[in-house]
Amino acid sequence: SLTLSYALWSKDSFIFFSVSIVLSSSTGFHALCITAVLLTLPLWLGMPLGYLFELLLPLAVCAIGVSFLLSALSGPLTMLKPAISHTGNPLYDLFMGRELNPQIGSFDLKYFCELRPGLIGWVVINLGMLMKEVELRDSASLAMILVNSFQLLYVADALWNEEAVLTPMDIVHDGFGFVLAFGDLAWVPFLVVHPQSLSPLGATAIVTLNGVGYYIFRKSNSQKNQFRPYASQCCMLVFKLLLPQQRGLLVSGWWGLVRHPNYLGDLLMALA
């Protein structure tokens, strides 16, 4: 089982509580749902979630500090294990990571950082920004609603399809060092303050662009995830295969239309 601890505070009140859940293949989505349910508690108690806006800089500084700490910790954890990036340059190895999946017992640091604090924290911080705008303007702007909706969909999709996260390059190829720790904890979750006024026509165009991007992103990633386990066996007849150096390369379906359709979908959603 895994215990999730939550601390909620405002200028004049503080609440701490924890929930134990059983680990499963979709624990990430369960954690997102539990977080969503528990966030209703401070709203019910009248605690201003918009206060997260005042804590944005301290949270960002702490995230950067934890990124340095994790990258420094991952070095000693991997000294007795085979390294995927051992150049002899300590600074480079610290930056890029020595080992693919540094662990504390059975706890995988890379996999945890990839999905838990960064993605779920992203949704919570976005909600705090929305509530702050409601406090200042008595209502949330259309742009803020769209940003929260698009990014919630992105996070929920990643956590719902958690098993597919085992196939991207940063999981199967890149070591866990400062680059991934900083990206997961300090770069992903924080929303830039950039107010925008949208017309109904503009909002419709943006929603359409995000929808097209999400469709391409999900369909192409699903094809890749189905293909990867069988690439070396060459037994998925619905896909054409190229096998240079005994590695399978998907060249049909979405991957026959564009070289990296998953990146294309991701970029369209980011543009929206």
Of all residues in the chain, what percent are helix, strand and coil, respectively (each to 5)? Answer: 60, 10, 30
Q: What percent of the chain has pLDDT over 90?
A: 7
For the segment 256-266, the average pLDDT, to the nearest whole number, is: 84
Q: Give the long-range contacts of residues 259-263, CB within 8 A, separation 24 or more.
A: 261/216, 261/217, 261/219, 261/220, 262/216, 262/217, 262/220, 262/221, 262/224
CA distance 53 to 130: 9
pTM of the prediction? 0.72
Q: Report in angstroms the alpha-carbon separations of 176 from 50, 94, 103, 171, 183.
A: 33, 9, 10, 9, 11
Amino acid code (one letter) for 18: S
Assigned token pair, 172: 């199967």
Q: Which of the pair, 6 or 212, is modelled with greater confidence?
A: 212
- Three-state DSSP at 21 gives strand
Q: Which of the pair, 252 or 235, is modelled with greater confidence?
A: 252
CA distance 217 to 260: 10
- The answer to whether 221 and 251 have CB atoms below 8 angstroms apart is no
- The answer to whether 180 and 170 have CB atoms below 8 angstroms apart is yes
Q: Mind listing the pLDDT tens digit for each residue in 25-70? A: 457 788 888 888 888 877 777 777 788 888 888 888 888 888 888 8
| Average pLDDT for the chain | 74
Q: Which of the pair, 140 or 100, is modelled with greater confidence?
A: 140
Residue 248 has pLDDT above 70, yes or no: no
- Residue 19, beta-bridge partner list: 4
Assigned token pair, 35: 């977080």
Q: Which of the pair, 1 or 57, is modelled with greater confidence?
A: 57
Q: Mind listing the pLDDT tens digit for each residue in 99-127? A: 777 777 777 777 788 778 888 888 888 88
